[in-house]
Amino acid sequence: MDDNTTVNRSVGYDEFALLHENAGEAGLAFDSDSPPTVERMWVPDTPSGNEVSAIRWGVGPPQLVLLHGGAQNAHTWDSMALALDLPLVAIDLPGHGHSAWRPDQDYRPQAMSDDIAHAIDALAPDATTLLGMSLGGLTALATLAARTDLAERLVLVDITPGVDQDKAAPIIAFVDGPEEFESFEAILERTLAFNPSRSRSSLARGVRHNAYQRPDGIWSWRYDRPTEARLGDLQNRHANLWDALSDLEHPVLLVQGGLSGVVDDEDIAEVQRRRPDAHVVVVEEAGHSIQGDRPVVLAELVGAFHG
């Protein structure tokens, strides 16, 4: 581990206090007398000059690196990390969670890849599997394309470079909603409305990790929201990542949510055309956030692919 990382800085609340709830909902054993080893870390002095934060799980050199989707944070992997029971690092993308917001609001995968590579070098230099969901998946692809030495295999969770505004419409509708809420209940109710298949308790945990209460009592999201002009056209913005996928020599696993519309049949066909060796698995009864809907199933798939 790089000596420049910072460990156990306070984030203002006990962010690991409810892991027993994650375990209970996922049907996993949890020993409160011997809880999992997990800690918050920071990596300063990234190429962009902005600090990146992460959660490290387990003892020993991390074997996997996990990147969350847009408008999420590293805690989205909590249940899956408990199920995997392997040393790993879950990184907060720039502008998300406890990572610094970028002054230029540039959260394109290619723009974030240098900072992510720097964080991996610092926190998980021996990791062999790089996994990303949604925006995190495209960022993982861009990062590995630029630094092929960072991992030996790639997992894409419900994402391909074929994502566009129509496929991502439900996600965009949620993110484009209010930035401020008068109470925790108000922000939770809106989250519930967009995630009807998830339990209230799981979403309450998610909101607690993804929002904060300001001194004036107002609740606001932790993530930075780029303007529409900076967001641009998704399909054109990610088009060159198809070539990155073609050129990548690493084994690839694509996990699709059976209830999600973000990855469609044309996307699967394009993946298989460009990478005939890619493994494609559909997780039934899972939406876009497979790690939230079916964390144990995803953990089993990733564990088998990781080897």
Alpha carbon distance 269, 4 (integer Å): 43
Catalytic residue among 53, 134, 202, 289: 134
3-state helix, strand, coil in the chain (%, to 5): 40, 15, 45
So what's the pLDDT on residue 238?
74
Structural domains of the chain ordered from first start: 6-163+235-306 (3.40.50.1820)
For residue 64, with 0-12 CB atoms within 10 Å meaning exposed, 13-18 middle and 19 or more buried, which class applies? buried
- Give the amino acid at 71: A
Residue 33, number of CB atoms within 10 A of its CB: 4
Find all residues with CB under 8 Å of 192, minimum gap 6, and list them. Answer: 198, 200, 203
For the whole model, what pTM was predicted?
Answer: 0.96
What pLDDT, in 10s, does the model give residues 207-243? 999 999 999 999 999 999 876 544 455 656 676 899 9
Catalytic residue among 78, 92, 115, 158: 158
**Banded model confidence at residue 65, pLDDT cuts 50, 70, 90:** very high
How many C-alpha atoms does 132 have within 13 Å on its Cβ side?
Answer: 27
- Say whether pLDDT at 178 is over 80: yes
Q: Are 92 and 98 in contact (CB under 8 A)?
A: yes
Reference 48, options 97, 104, 91, 108; nearest CA is 104
- Say whether pLDDT at 264 is over 80: yes
**Banded model confidence at residue 32, pLDDT cuts 50, 70, 90:** very high
- Say whether pLDDT at 69 is over 60: yes
Catalytic residue among 92, 288, 289, 293: 288
Measure the CA dihedral 147/305/241/146, to 10°: 0
For the question of residue 288 being annotated catalytic, the response is yes
Alpha carbon distance 5, 254 (integer Å): 31
So what's the pLDDT on residue 196?
86
User: Does an H or E element contain 300, and which?
Assistant: helix 295-306
- Say whether pLDDT at 278 is over 80: yes
Q: Are 28 and 82 in contact (CB under 8 A)?
A: yes
**Mean pLDDT of all residues in 4-28:** 88
**Mean pLDDT of all residues in 76-94:** 98
Q: Are 25 and 54 in contact (CB under 8 A)?
A: no
For the question of residue 158 being annotated catalytic, the response is yes
Structure tokens at 19: 């892991």
Alpha carbon distance 85, 38 (integer Å): 11
Q: What percent of the chain has pLDDT over 90?
A: 85
Phi, psi for 33 (deg, rounded to 5) = -80, -15
**Banded model confidence at residue 4, pLDDT cuts 50, 70, 90:** low
Chain-centroid distance, C-alpha 185: 24
Residue 185, number of CB atoms within 10 A of its CB: 12
**Banded model confidence at residue 89, pLDDT cuts 50, 70, 90:** very high
So what's the pLDDT on residue 1?
56
Measure the CA dihedral 209/215/219/225, to 10°: -80
**What rounded mean pLDDT belongs to the chain?**
93
So what's the pLDDT on residue 233?
58
Q: Are 133 and 232 in contact (CB under 8 A)?
A: no
Alpha carbon distance 144, 160 (integer Å): 15
